[in-house]
Chains A and B, each alone.
Chain A
């Protein structure tokens, strides 16, 4: 006996089947582009930064965590060339403190760095839109991991990801110049920015983890006059003093670095270009080397891959930034 099904019910059923199929296909696709377990635990979003997991075990002396300001301003390869220690930029656009924390936890399973450098701008990503976007993305990536890892389709055709290590070590090369012309300068103030509770808790967990693993923690602010101000400086300085941590605000050391906002930024003061990154890396490299007595790996045969990567890095600079 034929059962009568109304067109509306049939349509709803069809739509359900369609979406089940779509979700199934997306999960199938997610399996095809799945990264290894440690990478999944790190919960990173960026393709370049994920390649830190391709570095040999216990081979990194310094890890830098932070937002796009980090991968634009700090070139680990410049520091290796000049001072011999190894490092990596674990940074991605608008990185939040808890993302840095997850990443650090996953990485310390594989690496035993001497220093963790925590760029402090991420503590001030407390606008509702930023946090909401980040939470929505995490939720979406949790349900549909293919949205995060889809770029790994390139693995299917071989190529650079199959090769592994990043030659820039997470640094983003960009030589274009868009000068900063604003008049704003860093001004000292008595006001203290109130860092968000969630951000502060995350920093606290990072500090405790570093303490437990006997890693020195350095708080850092890279040059960025567009967002940085005296009240933020006071907030970070207060935290650093309370816990006996080192803190450097590079905005107050521009002259020592011979930094010039007319030539060293690629987007009018928000991010640095290669010229700015060279100055920051040189200055910061000298500081790290001197302050934490980091070993020189340049002639160490166990670090031969770094010599090879330096050659590739210099090639990239000659090619204008492309591998």
Chain B
């Protein structure tokens, strides 16, 4: 098992114990202390980056709120508003610049150097060995969101620096999110919660389920993903198809598993964190998929990128000009499309400094935009053919089409390079003579992986039908309840793909 995960569970156990021993008023301090401890243990001196981010938004926000004096003229108040806007922009730029420099400098440097080479210039940007603080992509977005919300006057700035630090570096959130909004989470974190037996029980239950997804399913599928993904040219046919399927399922089990662990950890302290997944494979369109997959990133981009671009007066004016030239569905959609382009570019870039992520973002931009632009056409076709939009066959087609879109998209995302993604797609129809075991998983491993996936599917179907499995288990008679908890725990310990017989699997989203 990953060292960071071991540290995480050790810190979690100690934090829960101390949290309920301390009086309610001081419980947020326990969370802050353990969050900083976790950060230092996992990322040592890089804790200064998260503290610097917290300090930048804390002091900026405090500066912004100075109330206008009664004697201040209207002009002065307007000036103050303008200055505030500049100040918010500067703070946001500072934080994004830190993230951008640490995460993207080498990528853009390399691209820039290639362009310089093409132009025949001798100048080169040097490659730097930069360290990336743990969770920087997650806490930077939370900090930027906080700053923008304060600038928009949504809520009063936090007066206590410690509480703002806790919001930014609460340890269950720092590894893979979810990305929290201040208004949603800060109150929950800072309020000292009573010990609630049911809440703690549900927290443990959710952590177990997250571990099951991660260790039994994701880390097992990783064996195949690594074998084929590292040398895709050596494989083809069914091996490539299995890579395409297994990578997507591994990514889902890994990411949603860790989110379950994070949310379950929050529940141990009585803190409810926002959901990040809602059975994404049940989506009927790419757009719906993104309303069910990494929900908090989508919500953040919608709030702070989509609306910022779509409601920008220049974009609206450009849309108006286009409408004057020709009034049609496209020109009407122009501000939305411009905003979507920005959203998907940011989405791609957020995942990492690689071209494959940019292509991944553009892939969804094209698909979602095309869907929106063609919507009137589809409606006409349905009406002409007399097909109800709720037709079962049509819905089945939509499901299958969306699954295909998802699998293709995640393969672009998961292949080592864009070239490798192309090799995987193009080799699907080339026969592969190797055995199933040569892909990294023997028959026994396959059986365990399929049992795990089957269980995930069954739970997903129940949840999709509105049945809360955790409530059902929680309400069952004691022998059934205990048998399920003990069964999952022993299954996890025996059949988990951890230890030296298996590979050490990095957090997929922990790297972003």
Interface mask (B194-218 → A, CB under 8 Å = 1, otherwise 0): 0001000000000000000000000
A58 at the interface (CB under 8 A from B): no
Bound Cα distance from A136 to B499, whole angstroms: 13
A197 at the interface (CB under 8 A from B): no
| CB closest chain-B residue, reference A25 | B490
Bound Cα distance from A136 to B500, whole angstroms: 15
A146 touches B494 (CB 8 A): yes
Bound Cα distance from A249 to B26, whole angstroms: 56
Which residues of B sit under 8 angstroms from A191, Cβ to Cβ? none
Nearest-CB distance from A285 to chain B (Å)?
26
A188 at the interface (CB under 8 A from B): no
B493 touches A136 (CB 8 A): no
Q: Which of A135-153 contact B (CB under 8 A)?
A: 136, 144, 146-148, 150-151, 153
How many of chain B's residues touch chain A, expressed as a range? Answer: 20 to 34
Q: Which of B463-512 contact A (CB under 8 A)?
A: 482, 485-486, 489-490, 493-496, 499-502, 504
**Contact for B482 among A21, A150, A174, CB less than 8 A:** A21
Bound Cα distance from A160 to B437, whole angstroms: 12
Bound Cα distance from A21 to B444, whole angstroms: 28
| CB closest chain-B residue, reference A11 | B197
A212 at the interface (CB under 8 A from B): no
Bound Cα distance from A266 to B494, whole angstroms: 31
Bound Cα distance from A33 to B494, whole angstroms: 9
A303 at the interface (CB under 8 A from B): no
B500 touches A22 (CB 8 A): no
Interface mask (A164-208 → B, CB under 8 Å = 1, otherwise 0): 000000000011100000000000000000000000000000000
Bound Cα distance from A150 to B495, whole angstroms: 7
Which residues of A sit under 8 angstroms from B230, Cβ to Cβ? 174, 176, 266
A133 touches B493 (CB 8 A): no
| CB closest chain-A residue, reference B231 | A176
Bound Cα distance from A153 to B447, whole angstroms: 13
Which residues of B sit under 8 angstroms from A174, Cβ to Cβ? 230
B393 at the interface (CB under 8 A from A): no
A150 touches B442 (CB 8 A): no
B500 touches A93 (CB 8 A): yes
Nearest-CB distance from B27 to chain A (Å)?
20
Nearest-CB distance from B197 to chain A (Å)?
6
A322 touches B444 (CB 8 A): no
Known: A319-B438, A322-B437, A322-B438. A29 touches B500 (CB 8 A): no
A163 at the interface (CB under 8 A from B): no
Q: Which residues of B contact A (CB under 8 A)?
A: 3, 6, 10, 41, 197, 227, 230-231, 234, 434-435, 437-440, 442, 444, 482, 485-486, 489-490, 493-496, 499-502, 504
A45 touches B499 (CB 8 A): yes
Nearest-CB distance from A65 to chain B (Å)?
15
A21 touches B486 (CB 8 A): yes
B499 touches A151 (CB 8 A): yes
Taking A18-B485, A322-B437 as known contacts, 13 extra A-B pairs with beta carbons closer than 8 A to each other, sorted by chain A number, are A22-B486, A29-B494, A45-B500, A93-B500, A133-B6, A150-B493, A150-B495, A151-B502, A319-B434, A319-B438, A320-B227, A320-B231, A322-B435
| CB closest chain-B residue, reference A18 | B482
Main secondary structure of the interface of A (DSSP, over half): helix
B494 touches A47 (CB 8 A): no
A159 touches B442 (CB 8 A): yes
Known: A22-B486, A26-B493, A29-B490. A150 touches B234 (CB 8 A): no
A46 at the interface (CB under 8 A from B): yes
Which residues of B sit under 8 angstroms from A320, Cβ to Cβ? 227, 231, 234, 434, 438
A292 at the interface (CB under 8 A from B): no
| CB closest chain-A residue, reference B10 | A136
Which residues of A sit under 8 angstroms from B442, Cβ to Cβ? 159-160
Nearest-CB distance from B271 to chain A (Å)?
21
B440 touches A322 (CB 8 A): yes
Most chain-B CB neighbours within 10 Å: which of A11, A26, A147, A151? A151
**Contact for A47 among B234, B486, B489, B500, CB less than 8 A:** B500
Known: A21-B482, A176-B231, A322-B440. A148 touches B490 (CB 8 A): no
Bound Cα distance from A153 to B499, whole angstroms: 13
Which residues of B sit under 8 angstroms from A26, Cβ to Cβ? 490, 493
Which residues of B sit under 8 angstroms from A144, Cβ to Cβ? 493
**Contact for A29 among B6, B437, B482, B493, CB less than 8 A:** B493
Bound Cα distance from A29 to B501, whole angstroms: 17
The 10 closest A-B pairs by CB, nearest first: A47-B501, A151-B501, A46-B500, A176-B230, A45-B500, A322-B438, A319-B438, A176-B231, A150-B494, A25-B490
Nearest-CB distance from A89 to chain B (Å)?
13
A129 at the interface (CB under 8 A from B): yes
A92 at the interface (CB under 8 A from B): yes
Nearest-CB distance from B9 to chain A (Å)?
11
Bound Cα distance from A33 to B440, whole angstroms: 22
Interface mask (A221-265 → B, CB under 8 Å = 1, otherwise 0): 000000000000000000000000000000000000000000000
Nearest-CB distance from A40 to chain B (Å)?
15
A157 touches B444 (CB 8 A): yes
Bound Cα distance from A323 to B440, whole angstroms: 9
